[in-house]
Amino acid sequence: MSAVLVTGIALLGAPAGWAAVPVGRSLVPGHPGDAPRRSTLALAGVVVFGGLAATRGTDPALPALLLVAAVGLVLGVTDVTALRLPDPLVGVVALGGGLGLIAATAATGEPRRLAVAVGGAALSFVGYALLALLPRARLGFGDVKLAAALGLPLGWLGWPALRLGLFLPHVLAGVAVLVLLAAGRVRRDTPVPFGPALLGGAWLAAVLT
């Protein structure tokens, strides 16, 4: 959710003409002051890490969740400012999260949870890949890969967390777009980053289930 808030703040502060910027280009070129400020990111970090620590403090997978959250904040800002989810960062989420979950499996002796995590990643990939292939779909394959990477920790947390993590991004993205449309910051054909909604939905699913 905090990632979605960062998105909203950044887009609401962007110049009115940014909607014409094509995918892959900065949304706020030449206006570094329009990017999320350090204080905003610091607050988002406190909310994200504090929420995970408060709700998952006894879970052996907490280090993996915190790593995913830390890289996720960077990915959220990158997607807002450049409409990109760089593969190396998504790879860190997948590899770092996966290694952390392997360590958690060794600590708990519950290989079933790791199997569910892998199944969650596969299900997330297939589901979002199908959505991305739909006509007029606004999902990119960067979003698909990020969804798969987030499916690992969500699967570890269980099927309820995975279901919620797959559903909530669409709700968050819809609300964010409606707010931005009402504020006159975007048009109906404006490319809006979906990565922050994926990250925010995964975080909410982790702290609510």
Share of the chain above pLDDT 70, in %: 83
Contact partners, residue 31, CB within 8 Å, separation at least 6:
14, 15
| pLDDT computed for residue 18 by the predictor | 33
Residue numbers of the domain that contains 145: 2-9+36-208
pLDDT surpasses 70 at 74: yes
Distance from C-alpha of 186 to C-alpha of 14, rounded to nearest angstrom: 10
Q: How confident is the model at residue 61 (pLDDT cuts 50, 70, 90)?
A: very high
Could you tell me how far CA 164 lies from the centroid of its own chain? 13
Residue 15 lies in a domain: no
Residue 17 lies in a domain: no
| pLDDT computed for residue 44 by the predictor | 92
pLDDT surpasses 70 at 19: no
Q: How confident is the model at residue 94 (pLDDT cuts 50, 70, 90)?
A: very high
Residue 114 lies in a domain: yes
Q: Among candidates 142, 155, 153, 148, which has minimal Cα distance to 191?
A: 142
Residue 204 lies in a domain: yes
Residue 52 lies in a domain: yes
Distance from C-alpha of 101 to C-alpha of 29, rounded to nearest angstrom: 39
Average pLDDT, the chain: 85
Distance from C-alpha of 62 to C-alpha of 191, rounded to nearest angstrom: 34
Say if CB 94 and CB 124 are below 8 A apart.
Answer: no
Residue 23 lies in a domain: no
Residue 24 lies in a domain: no
Contact partners, residue 85, CB within 8 Å, separation at least 6:
75, 78, 79, 140, 142, 143, 145, 146, 195
Residue 173 lies in a domain: yes
DSSP secondary structure string for all residues of 50-67? HHHHHHHTT-TTHHHHHH
| pLDDT computed for residue 189 by the predictor | 80
| pLDDT computed for residue 57 by the predictor | 92
Q: What is the pLDDT of residues 124-163, one digit of tens each?
A: 999 999 999 998 888 999 999 999 999 999 999 999 999 9
Considering the entire predicted model, what is its pTM? Answer: 0.82
Say if CB 74 and CB 195 are below 8 A apart.
Answer: no
| pLDDT computed for residue 22 by the predictor | 35
Overall number of domains in the chain: 1
